[in-house]
Structure formats: structure tokens, C-alpha cells
Amino acid sequence: MSGSDEPLLEVSGLTKHFAQNDSLLRRLRPDQSVQTVQAVDGVDLRIRDGETVGLVGESGCGKSTFGRLVLRLLDPTAGSISYRGEAVDEFDAAALREYRSHAQMIFQDPFGSLNPRYTVRETLVEPMEVHDIGASSAERVQQSTELLERVRLGAEYLDRYPHELSGGQRQRVAIARALAVEPEFVVADEPTSALDVSVQVEILDLLGELQEEMDLTLLFITHDLSVIRHVSDRIAVMYLGNLVEIGETESVFTNPSHPYTQALLSSIPNPDPSATPDRIPLAGDVPTPIDPPSGCQFHPRCPKIVPPEEWDHDQRIWRELFRLRTRLANGEIEPDAVRSTLVDGDERADDDAVVDALYRNQVEERVGNATDRAVPDSAATVAREALAELVVGNDDDAVARLEDAGFVTVCETEEPDLTTTEHGTDVRCHLHSEATRDHPDRDELRERNREKIL
């Protein structure tokens, strides 16, 4: 399916920040600040002629924003988009109109994306009129009929309104509308997620057939990993506005290299009840893109976070203590609540007892859930000291105590580079990072970390 090596679309450093709650008043008031949502944050991607690239990620990761940026439905904050060597980000209105006859979009919701007052005929003829396709209106209607046949609907649908069509039929009309201008490149944003499974297959098949017939290049955006495996040549996995892994679909599915991709793939419900799921659970929720985590943005949830060289024990123990540090820093642990529980239970409730209780449910229990090895004494002492600082109200000292004792990681301080793995996929993770690889002693460390993790 892949064409020449020259990319059809090349995106580099593409960034889109949205201002939240922006208003003049807010900008003028010194006590208020305008927060920015970093929806897309420096994405590089090349799409070759004739291929289907699947962009996958969870809700809020910025995948739809990315789709809109490449079509210039949104203007990027930074970065460049080049289509057949032309800078899309610098297009003026006329060039943009011309661009839109090459690049089109199919939206998620076929109920919202068709004009309810237009018949199918009007819906299909309008883009042709805008882009001067067809010499007369009779010719355009003729072309519309052909388009309808192409999407497996007949000429009898020309005079229907969207409300007379089922979900699957509407999505076919939406596809026909995108194809009306004979585009080379189509962005399909969740084209099947509003549809039932039996209808979904029909639409996926249709897109596949059309791609071959019309030689289309597709950017297929979805949250559904089973669908993406079915349709894509390559996939790109997005997390918090950044691509974390890019590669041939089969390589990514058989050898996922980024811990996020691994967790994502392990979470797909398998339609085989006899299969035993081997889940990689992720801690917490997706952080907000308003204030994304430093370094590798996945590090607060990452099960494979890299401990520093000096740590000689189980990575899982280190990970739980690191997370304790994060919770302390976020003020998530409330000693007062624990104290009042102890008081209610008629138990000893002095500072030592509170530290004990906190240690039990914040460290011991969590480590116990992760591994059957015990917390090494030195680490246990540090954790208790930190909790003791918290109990007497020195929150910052509590965090500092853990930081000083080595509960810091490269994952939070440095942003990993994109590295090519042995499976030919590109991945953004310190476990595979060049920087880690260059240092000879780091190399050994990496092996050791791997052993600890596996």
C-alpha cells in the first residue's frame, strides 16, 4: 500500500495551545492568570502517499485537535505542516481553499455533521460548487449519483434528508461529501465510534475499498485499538499531546515498546471469554493538559518508571515510594483524617501512631499489592521520616526527605527523545533512550533496570 518515499504530509514540532477562561478582564487583573491547555505539544509525523496512518489515544490526548490542525481547521500555535512540500501553515485564504480540495475530513458524529436542512443532493453538490468541479449543475448531480453508488447507496437517496437516514447511511453520505472534491488525503476522525458494531464493519470495509479505488491517503483517528489494527499500515500512539510510539501496525501490536502502549494494548477487552487477561494496570487518571507532568509525561502513571542507578532492590518498591513522594507533593495525604479515624476507633492517636497508620496504608499495603518482597529497612526509615514531617505539618520537608534519599528519576527531569527500537518502531521512553544508551555505565544500568522490571 505504501507509495514513494517522499512524504505526502510532513508535520514537525506541531503545537496547539488553547487559552482557558480567557477574557480581557482576566488579562488585566494581576491576581488572575490565563491558563493554557497544551492540547498538542510538538508532534512530528510523516505520512507517505497512499498509506493509512492510525492515530490512537485516549480521550483528551489531543488526537482530534491534531487532525484539525493538519487540515488547518485550527491554526497551530507553533510548528510546521507541509503538504507535498508546500507550507500549509503559511497558506492564505485562496491557497487554503485550494488545499481543501486535496484534503478533506470525515467527522465522528454523522448526526451532527450533516446539515439537517439539506437534502443529500444539496449536501453533495455544495462542495463541488465551491471548488468548481463539474461544468453544469446537471453534471454535478450526475457526479453525486456516482458518488452515492460508490458509497453503496443508490440515486434514490438524492432527495432524502438526514433525518430519514440511519446512522450508517448518514456516515456514508458524509464520506461521499468528503470524496466529492476528489481529495488525495482524508482525515477520518472516529468515523465509526457512533455506530453499532455491525454497521462499523461496513463503514470500515467501505473506507478500505475507496482507498484502493481512489488511491487515498488516510489519517484514521480513533480510540479503538481493535479497529486500528484492522485498518492501518502504521500507527501512532498519542499521550497528552505527544506521540509516544510510532511504527508499522504489526510491529507495534506484537512488540509494543512504550509502557503506555503496552498498558493500552493489554486493556482491550478480548472477545474470547476463555482467554485469561494479562492486564497492566495504570495508576491514576490521565493528568490534565493544563499543567502536564515534567519530563516524560507518562511518568506519574508508568509501571516501568526508571529508578536511579543507586537503587539495588526491586523496581516496584522504588516505584511505590516514588509515588508516595508524588502524593505528598500534591497534598493528597491527609494525616488529620487518619487521626480522626483512629480517635473514632478508640485507638492511640499520637503522632507516632498516625505515622504508623500512614505507613501501613500509604506504603506497606501498596508495596504488598505490587510485589511480595519487603521494603528494605533503609527505605522504610526514610518513608517513616518523611511521613513524620508531614504529620507535624512540614509538607515541603517531607517531600525533600524522599528527594534527598534518591527518590528522583530521569523520567521526571528529562524529556525522552524519539529512539528507534530493534523492532523498527520509534518510541519516546527513557528505557530506550539514546542518552541512556550513550553512557557506557548507563548501559549496564539499563540492563539492570530491565531485569528488575521483567
Partner 1 sequence: MTRTTAARTDEADREEWELIARDDPLLSVRDLRTHFHTDEGELRAVDGVSFEIQQGEVLGLVGESGSGKSVTSLSLMKLIRSPGEIVDGEILYDGEDVRGMTGERLRRLRGNEMAMTFQEPSSALNPVFDVGWQIGEPLRVHEDLKKGASRERAVELMRQVGIPSPEARVDDYPYQFSGGMQQRAMIAMALACEPNLLIADEPTTALDVTIEAAILELIRDLTDSLGMATLLVTHDMGVVAELCDRVAVMYAGRIVEYGDVETVFEDPRHPYTQGLLGCIPDPTASTQSLDPIGGEPPDPREFPAGCHFAERCPASVEDCERTDPRLRTVGDDHYSACIWEDP
Minimum CB separation from partner 1 for residue 224, in Å? 8
User: Contacting partner 1 (CB under 8 A), which of 6, 139, 146, 285?
Assistant: 285
Size of the site for partner 1 (CB under 8 A): 48
Complex with partner 1: residue 133 or 286, whichever CB lies closer: 286
273 binds partner 1 (CB under 8 A): yes
Which residue intervals of 71-196 are DSSP H helices? 93-100, 120-130, 137-150, 167-179
CA atoms within 13 A on the CB side of 120: 30
- Alpha-carbon distance of 120 to 165, in angstroms, equals 10
User: Contacting partner 1 (CB under 8 A), which of 223, 384, 423, 448?
Assistant: 223
User: Contacting partner 1 (CB under 8 A), which of 230, 313, 423, 442?
Assistant: 230
For 103, the 3-state DSSP assignment is: strand
- Alpha-carbon distance of 98 to 140, in angstroms, equals 19
Q: Are strands 217-222 and 52-56 parallel, antiparallel or unpaired?
A: parallel
58 binds partner 1 (CB under 8 A): yes
163, 192 contact by CB (below 8 A): no
Minimum CB separation from partner 1 for residue 321, in Å? 17
384, 354 contact by CB (below 8 A): no
User: Contacting partner 1 (CB under 8 A), which of 270, 294, 381, 413?
Assistant: 270
Minimum CB separation from partner 1 for residue 447, in Å? 29
Class of residue 332 by CB neighbours under 10 A (exposed 0-12, middle 13-18, buried 19+) = exposed
Complex with partner 1: residue 294 or 341, whichever CB lies closer: 341
User: Contacting partner 1 (CB under 8 A), which of 53, 216, 227, 398?
Assistant: 227
CA-CA-CA-CA dihedral for 202, 204, 206, 209, to nearest 10: -140
393 binds partner 1 (CB under 8 A): no
> Any residues with CB less than 8 A from the CB of 229 and at least 6 apart, and which?
235, 249, 253
User: Contacting partner 1 (CB under 8 A), which of 3, 13, 112, 284?
Assistant: 284
For 134, the 3-state DSSP assignment is: coil
- Alpha-carbon distance of 75 to 160, in angstroms, equals 35
Minimum CB separation from partner 1 for residue 337, in Å? 3
User: Contacting partner 1 (CB under 8 A), which of 95, 201, 400, 418?
Assistant: 201
Rounded to 5 degrees, what are φ and ψ at 81? -125, 125
Minimum CB separation from partner 1 for residue 196, in Å? 4
202 binds partner 1 (CB under 8 A): yes
52, 249 contact by CB (below 8 A): no
Which segment (31-39, 105-113, 247-255, 308-316) binds partner 1 by CB under 8 A?
A: 247-255
How distant, in Å, are the alpha carbons of 76, 214, 278, 385 from that of 275?
Answer: 44, 40, 9, 45
Query: x/- site string to partner 1, residues 327 to 366, per CB under 8 A?
Result: -----xxx--xx--x-------------------------
Complex with partner 1: residue 121 or 339, whichever CB lies closer: 339
229 binds partner 1 (CB under 8 A): yes
User: Contacting partner 1 (CB under 8 A), which of 106, 263, 363, 379?
Assistant: 263
250 binds partner 1 (CB under 8 A): yes
Cell of 199: 454497521
Residue 242, strand partner residues: 239
161 binds partner 1 (CB under 8 A): no
Complex with partner 1: residue 232 or 449, whichever CB lies closer: 232
How distant, in Å, are the alpha carbons of 64, 71, 291 from that of 16?
Answer: 12, 13, 14
Complex with partner 1: residue 142 or 254, whichever CB lies closer: 254
Which segment (24-32, 326-334, 390-398, 403-411) binds partner 1 by CB under 8 A?
A: 326-334
253 binds partner 1 (CB under 8 A): yes
**Closest listed residue to residue 61, CA positions, set 321, 298, 314:** 298
265 binds partner 1 (CB under 8 A): yes
Residues 68-87 that bind partner 1 (CB under 8 A): none
For 385, the 3-state DSSP assignment is: helix
Amino acid at site 369: N
Cell of 290: 493544563
Binding residues for partner 1 (CB under 8 A): 58-59, 166, 168, 196-202, 204-205, 223, 225-227, 229-230, 250, 253-254, 263-275, 277, 279, 281-282, 284-286, 332-334, 337-338, 341
